[in-house]
């Protein structure tokens, strides 16, 4: 066999390789690049559409610390009755009232009794009632239902009370009424007084009164009347999270016998 000596293999010297540099006209290069970019943009757009719009994370406006002290009261059946008249809804652009209902349900689910229940009633011209359920089963809504723009407060309270009597399962009924306290007519005030002094006489009633621009002051004497038996009145100047959380924390403390503070 003849062996040929090939020596050491080395890469070709750059000097021996003279690549031919071709100068392509600019349009010849640009057109394919633009076409490729268009395909990529369309593809990215299709992928984004397939994923759906990016939604902002849900914000938590109201929350409470763990209570301090032992619970000294029995089970409570809460019904939060929220005035959704035009003036009240426009004052709550962030949805703080709905978030306070969620936070209250979560507080009761975490630290309450097995018999604690909660429901919510939104009202204006009509009332939308969600019956009280165990606090750990409550499905909070971030928005208010469509109930008009008026203030039919007496019929809303009656509807809320009827729902509680059907769903509280023996727990002490508690109404938390969120309103500016105004009624459209004297007859509406009379009907509200008759309800509170009659069918609701065994219900604990707490009022969170919107007092922006002194809105509550014309009705204050009515709500503070001893015949109505309202257990507490807390005024707020806005539906800011701190004010609403503080008002609800005081009511929770009253009804549980514990120290409750907002975060």
Confidence of residue 149 (pLDDT cuts 50, 70, 90): confident
Residue 115 lies inside a defined structural domain of this protein: yes
Q: 140 versus 59: which is more confidently predicted?
A: 140
For residue range 157-186, list pLDDT tens digits in order. 999 999 999 999 999 999 999 999 999 999
Taking 60 as the threshold, does the pLDDT of residue 235 lie above it?
A: yes
In a domain, 111, yes or no: yes
C-alpha to C-alpha distance for 203 and 132, rounded to whole angstroms:
14
Report yes or no on 230 lying in a domain: yes
pLDDT score of 144: 81
Which tokens in the block code for residue 139? 């499905």
> What rounded mean pLDDT belongs to the chain?
83
Domain count for the chain: 1
Which residues have C-beta within 8 Å of that of residue 204, sequence separation ≥ 6? 172, 173, 174, 175, 231, 255
pLDDT in tens, 23-58: 545 444 444 433 444 434 344 444 334 333 333 334
* Pair 262, 62: CB distance under 8 Å: yes
Q: What is the DSSP letter of 64?
A: B
Give one word for 45, left, alpha or beta, with left for phi > 0 and alpha for psi -120 to 50.
alpha
Residue pLDDT, tens place only, 173-223: 999 999 999 999 999 999 999 999 999 999 999 999 999 999 999 999 999
pLDDT at 6: 39
What is the reported pTM? 0.77
Q: Are 163 and 131 in contact (CB under 8 A)?
A: yes
Task: Provide DSSP, 93-140.
Answer: TT-HHHHHHHHHHHHHHHHS-TT-EEEEEEESSSEEEEEEEEGGG---
**152 within domain boundaries:** yes
181 found inside a domain: yes
| pLDDT of the residue at 34 | 39
Interatomic CA distance for residues 183 and 80, integer angstroms: 18
Residue 210 lies in a domain: yes
- Give yes or no for residue 133 having a pLDDT over 80: yes
| Count of all residues that appear for the chain in the document | 263
Q: Which of 190, 195, 177 is nearest to 231 (CA)?
A: 177
Please indicate, yes or no, if residue 50 is contained in any of the structural domains: no
Euclidean distance between CA atoms 192 and 197, whole angstroms:
9
Residue 132 maps to a domain: yes
pLDDT value for 145: 84
Count of CB atoms situated within 10 Å of the CB of 175: 23
Which residues constitute the domain of residue 189? 76-256
Q: In this predicted model, which residue has the larger pLDDT, 113 or 18?
A: 113
**pLDDT at position 59, please?**
55
Q: What is the mean pLDDT of residues 95-122?
A: 96
CATH of residue 97: 3.40.50.410
């Amino acid at each position: 066999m003849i062996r040929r000596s090939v020596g050491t293999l080395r890469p070709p010297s750059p000097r021996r390789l003279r690549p031919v540099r071709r100068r392509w006209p600019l349009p010849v290069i640009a057109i394919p690049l633009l076409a490729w970019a268009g395909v990529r943009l369309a593809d990215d757009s299709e992928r984004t559409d397939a994923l759906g719009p990016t939604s902002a994370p849900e914000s938590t406006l109201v929350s409470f610390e763990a209570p301090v002290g032992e619970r000294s009261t029995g089970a409570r059946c809460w019904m939060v009755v929220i005035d959704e008249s035009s003036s009240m809804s426009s004052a709550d652009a962030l949805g703080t009232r709905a978030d306070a209902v969620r936070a209250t349900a979560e507080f009761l689910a975490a630290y309450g009794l097995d018999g604690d229940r909660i429901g919510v009633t939104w009202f204006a011209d009509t009332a939308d009632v969600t019956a009280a359920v165990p606090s750990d089963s409550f499905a909070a809504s971030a928005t208010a239902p469509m109930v008009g723009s008026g203030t039919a407060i007496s019929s809303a309270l009656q509807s809320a009370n009827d729902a509680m009597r059907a769903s509280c399962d023996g727990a002490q009924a508690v109404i938390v009424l969120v309103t500016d306290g105004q009624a459209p007519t004297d007859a509406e005030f009379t009907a509200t007084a008759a309800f509170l002094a009659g069918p609701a006489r065994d219900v604990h009633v707490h009022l969170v009164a919107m007092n922006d621009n002194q809105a509550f002051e014309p009705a204050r004497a009515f709500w503070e009347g001893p015949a109505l038996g309202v257990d507490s009145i807390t005024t707020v100047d806005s539906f800011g999270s701190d004010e609403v959380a503080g008002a609800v924390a005081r009511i929770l403390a009253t009804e549980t016998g514990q120290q409750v503070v907002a975060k």
